Amino acid sequence: MTSNYLSINGLIKSYPPATGKGDRLVIVDGFDLHVDEGEFITLIGHSGCGKSTVLMILAGLSTQTEGVITLGGNTLTGPGLDRGIVFQSPCLLPWLTAFENVMLSVDQGKPDWKKAERRDHAMKYLSLVGLQDAVHKKPAELSQGMRQRVGIARAFALQPKLLLLDEPFGMLDSLTRIELQQVLLDIWTQERMTAVMVTHDIDEAIFMADRVVMMTNGPRAKIGDIVPVPFARPRSRGELLESNEFYALRERLVGFLEELHHDHAPKPEPEPTAATPASPKLVTAPLSGNLS
Amino acid sequence: MKKLFPFDWLVLPMVGIACAMLVWYGLSKTITPKVPTPLATWEECKVYVLEPFAKRSELDQGVLNFTRYSLVRVAKGFFLAVLIGVPTGFLLGMSPWFFKCFDLLFQILRPVSPLAWFPLGAALFTTFKQDALEYAALFTITVCAMWPTVLNTAVGVRAIPQDYLNVAKVLKLSAFQTLWKVMLPAVLPYMFTGFRLSLGIAWLVIVAAEMLTGNPGIGSFLNQEYLAGHYAPIIFCIIIIGVVGFILDRIMNVVERRFKTI
């Protein structure tokens, strides 16, 4: 396993001011992250903090204003087939069947393979996401969860060096979400590719990740803290939910995010969060002095 | 409850047509005695219907013969309109530069009447001698019919969801693959809406074009009867033109729905 397989150095994303005068609008201000090969990173932060911006830059769909990203020693410029992307909305082409959508990816990723090999490859990944019985259905005939399964199959079928997930379960109901987290984790466990996933679900961030990267609020967002997740893999949701360590971790993340929230939007009364029977003592996150 | 009779789509439309017949009959019996009654019109024109493929002379033929001539002409003009309109629409939708260059010009040319285009066509194709007017007719149909295809294609191109283009980008599709596999299928429904409207206009223009060329077809037949002062065939032609136009629209509607990709 190579360390620093994915290396993000001094990433800055800014836009010229809308009026043409004044300071540039800085969305992401100095994002540094080093990811080992086969590591699963989740990126968490309040909405609008620029976490998706970072992911889109990694995907090559957006360009950084400053900073260098290397993947396996190569500097990334623009999109590439070395990265597989699962979008929030599955982004399937509606006139193609599930199989054809995955084939589009396989045809591009494995141009040297024989047709039959490519078909088998696409079918293999569709089976892995549990869609073997729906391969010839069009997206309109599939549920939202099934569409996202196709999206996952399409990304994995590329066998990319880096898997990028942009809130892939954000549009799903919670049961489907839990189901798909497991599906994703199962395939990932087999393939063990480096992965970066953006999410705003704290439980999901912990369940999936080797390390959780927390971003400060935008504009001028950067990394607030990085929390390693110690649980051994394969993980079971049930065991996780029974361990105290999980809750401690959860408190730490919630605490960090809440603190940011109050920092930026001071309110007379703190919002009670049902999910966090928080005892403030548990909030021990070193905030690395990055908060404005 | 199961409907025993197709009331909505058969009986009520027939009521509408019957009303029109009644007004027609009333008018011809009272203030416009020169216009023949529906029955008299049928008596005078039934020969064209009962012998639809008869060819007594160039301008005295069965209804299906005339319709066929006109349809072939419309098909040629429509085909040319699609051939020119689709690429133009793609350029208009894709390139802001192209749009800025040509949008104004197109907006100016679009409302020009076929009756105005035809003489220009005749002048353009004078080198073709005896075929000049036929080419002028095709030119007129094409120029008038292509705008809905151009504009709808352009709208469709601009409406391609960014999501689809992102998929093309991250999968590194070439420019041609992106056009063929992503953009074209996404624009197809818009294009077919354009085609349907274009075909409607082409059929609208055919009468004017044929009136001016005099080449056999439903329009020239109508014009000849008009010059001869026969009113029954004129009414008959109007009905035939309307029915054929309706059928063309229905066919395009079916095709359009068949190609609904989204």
pLDDT tens sequence across A97-121: 999 999 999 999 999 999 999 999 9
Contacts of A151 in chain B (CB under 8 A): none
Nearest CB among A80, A83, A93 relative to B182 is that of A93
Same domain, B207 and B91: yes
Specify the pLDDT at position B103.
94
Q: What is the pLDDT of residue A54?
A: 92
Residue pair B21/B14 in contact (Cβ under 8 Å)? The answer is no
Which residues in chain A touch residue B169, judged by CB atoms under 8 angstroms apart? 60-61, 79
For A109-114, the CB contacts below 8 A with 24+ separation are A109/A81, A109/A157, A109/A158, A109/A159, A109/A160, A109/B171
The CA–CA distances, whole Å, from B261 to A217, B188, B258 equal 41, 7, 8
In chain A, whose CA is at the least distance from the CA of B189? A95
Evaluate whether A211 touches A225 at the Cβ level (below 8 Å). Answer: no
Do B23 and B153 lie in one domain? The reply is no
Examine the pLDDT at B10 and tell me if it is beyond 90.
no
- Give the range of the structural domain holding residue B4, as residue numbers without chain letter: 1-35
CATH of the domain at B229: 1.10.3720.10
Q: What is the predicted ipTM?
A: 0.81
Whether B82 and B151 map to the same domain: the answer is yes
Could you state, in chain order, the average pLDDT of each consecutive group of 10 residues for chain A (292 residues)?
87 85 85 93 86 92 92 91 92 94 94 94 94 92 93 94 93 90 92 92 92 86 88 86 90 85 51 43 40 35
Q: Residue A29: which H helix or E strand, with range?
A: strand A25-35
Looking at residue A292, what is its pLDDT? 33
Nearest CA in chain B to A79: B170
Q: Looking at residues B23-48, what average pLDDT do you find?
A: 88
Please compute the mean of the pLDDT values over residues B187-198 and round it to a whole number. Answer: 94
Provide the pLDDT for residue B102: 95
Alpha helix locations (H) across chain A? Answer: 51-59, 98-109, 115-128, 144-157, 174-191, 202-208, 237-242, 244-264
What are B125-162's pLDDT values in tens digits?
Answer: 888 878 888 899 999 999 999 999 999 999 999 999 99
Tokens 């309110």 locate to A267
B163: closest CA of chain A, how far (Å): 6
pLDDT reported for residue B135: 92
The alpha-carbon gap from A95 to the nearest alpha carbon of chain B, in Å, equals 5
Using pLDDT thresholds of 50, 70 and 90, give the confidence band for residue B188: very high
- Residue A12 CB neighbours (<10 A): 17
Beta carbons within 8 Å of B129's beta carbon, 6+ residues apart: none
Tell me how many domains chain B contains: 2
One domain for residues B11 and B63: no
The pLDDT of residue B229 is 87
Q: Which residue has the tokens 């390139």?
A: B95
- Contact across the interface for A59 and B164, Cβ inside 8 Å: no
- Break chain A into its structural domains and give their ranges: 83-159
Average per-residue pLDDT in chain B?
90
B31 and B74 within one domain: no
Same domain, B188 and B231: yes
Are B90 and B217 part of one and the same domain?
yes
Q: Is the pLDDT of residue B255 over 70?
A: yes
| Residue B173 with chain A: CB contacts under 8 Å | 108
Question: A179: which 2 tokens?
Answer: 């189901």
Do B130 and B1 lie in a common domain?
no
